[in-house]
Structure 1
Amino acid sequence: MKRYFITGLLIWVPLVITGWVLSMIVSTLDQSLRLMPASVHPENLVGFPIPGAGAVLTLAMILLTGLLAANFIGQKLVVWWEMLLARIPVVNSVYNSVKQVSDTLFSPNGNAFRKAVLVRYPHQNSWTIAFLTGQPGGDVINHLDGDYVSVYVPTTPNPTSGFFLMMPAKDVVELEMTVDEALKYIISMGVVAPPPHARITTNT
């Protein structure tokens, strides 16, 4: 009985969690219907609410925005819009900060997570997987002696939260695994291991 129960859990737990996450995403995207007049809401058009209608509307808005911004006129409008926001004191700083992060994360040429690495964290006797994000900059480099790198240490099983660390390059071990493989390894809490042929090489 115990073996059958565990087998059932292994089937249902991923399905339930996946459904729960998708439900949260769809319900959040459905909030975009509030931007539309009440007369065009599904419950007023067909007599009952349609789950996911707002999600479809949100995706359509994103695709349409990308389509318009990809041509010459759209690019000019984006530049004009950013120049307008730059003249608003508080909005300027917030918008620029968020835009830099989003450009790094979502741009096809972005280098948000350049390489999976192995670092000692949270103490010298333990290791964890992190992602190389670049090198320290600004006034920080004036207070660091030697060659340092910037790494992001994600939490498990939610890699969207974590810690930003600056570490000596000699203490960082580069992993021969893709970023996707490393993310799966982290999210699964070490259960889904990368292919056995992956090897690690240390910095010299």
Structure 2
Amino acid sequence: MSALRKWLFTGLLVIVPGVITIAVLNWIVGTLDQTLQILPGAWQPDKLLGFHIPGFGVLLTLLILLLVGATASNFAGRKLVQFGDSLVSRIPVVRSIYSSVKQVSDTLFSESGNAFRTAVLVQWPREGVWTVAFVTGTPGGEVAAYLRDEFVSVYVPTTPNPTGGYFVMVRKSDCVELDMSVDAALKYIISMGVVAPADPALVSVPPK
């Protein structure tokens, strides 16, 4: 029985990562293939080829992103984007949603942005309990006026799903900056601590 149990768990270790990876990729490709719906019926790859080949939507999405990026990078494109932003900002309700999403996307995807560039150790949810978090910026506006010391804004992700988490503001002196990359930190979080960084020397030891 011990041998059967060992074989069972070994099979799971081999099969599960592959199955989950294929499922995720299938979901991504299937979702992006919906982009093909913007093409006229006569231009649909399925009709042109006579059979379905998954992945054309991925290519079309990449092409659209490249074209939009190239257009928005020149002077005329920037003016067009500014005109669109000013137009949306005049629409009630829509402007609040759009401006919030745009600020977040500008922070995350801008080359000059600092969000999610640094992994840190913070005491969460109480003193003496440490977890890995990501610096997203510094408090500003009215919030900063109430904070006397130097604070940083951090995102504490949940595990194993890091897309959910908590936004907290902690003293910068209470954060232990890590040398590990954001990718390594995310892998560490998603694996619930099972997959540690490759080099243990990169993990800073919190001061006592």
TM-score (norm 1): 0.89
**Residue identity in the other structure for 1:149:** V
Tell me the equivalent position of 1:98. 101
Residue-pair matches, total:
203
- Residue 88 of structure 1, CA deviation: 2.4
- Output one character per residue of 1:74-108: Cα deviation in whole Å (capped at 9) or x when no partner: 22222222222223233222222111111111122
Matched, 1:177 2:202: no
Counterpart Cα distance in 2 of 1:3 and 1:202: 38
Q: 1:190, CA displacement in angstroms? A: 0.9
Q: By how many angstroms is 1:172 displaced?
A: 1.9
Aligned identity (percent) is 57
- Three-state SS of the structure 2 residue aligned to 1:192 is coil
Determine if contact 1:175/1:200 at 8 Å carries over to the other structure.
yes
Is this contact kept in 2: 1:134–1:151, CA < 8 A?
Answer: yes
Distance, in Å, in 2 between the alignment partners of 1:138 and 1:81 is: 27
Following the alignment from structure 2 to structure 1, what is the Cα–Cα distance between the partners of residues 181 and 106? Answer: 21
- One-letter identity of the residue aligned with 1:196: P
CA distance in 1, matches of 2:144, 2:108: 24
1:151 equivalenced with 2:151 (yes/no): no
* Larger mean Cα displacement after TM superposition, 31-40 or 14-23: 31-40
Whole-angstrom CA distance in 2 between matches of 1:201 and 1:8: 36
Separation in structure 1 between the aligned mates of residue 206 and residue 132 of structure 2, nearest angstrom:
14
Distance 1:199 1:48 in 2: 51
| TM-score in terms of structure 2 length | 0.87
How well do the aligned residues superpose, as a CA RMSD in angstroms? Answer: 2.0
Q: 2:63 aligns with which of 60, 63, 67?
A: 60
How big is each residue's C-alpha offset from its partner over 1:165-194, in whole Å with a ceiling of 9 and x where there is no partner? 012233222223222221121122111111
Is there any run of 5+ residues in structure 1 with no aligned partner, and where? none
The whole-number CA distance in structure 2 between the counterparts of 1:180 and 1:49 is: 35
1:118 maps to amino acid: L
Compared CA separation, residues 34 and 199, structure 1 to 2 (3 A): closer
Alignment of 1:1-204 (within 5 A): 1-194=4-197, 195-200=199-204
What are the ranges of 5 or more consecutive residues in structure 2 without an aligned counterpart?
none
CA contact (8 A) 1:119 1:127 kept: yes
* Paired amino acid for 1:47: G
What amino acid sits opposite 1:188 in the alignment?
S
| SS of residue in 1 equivalent to 2:177 | strand
Question: Is the 1:85–1:92 contact (alpha carbons within 8 Å) kept by the matching residues of 2?
Answer: yes
Partner Cα separation in structure 2 for residue 13 and residue 199 of structure 1? 29
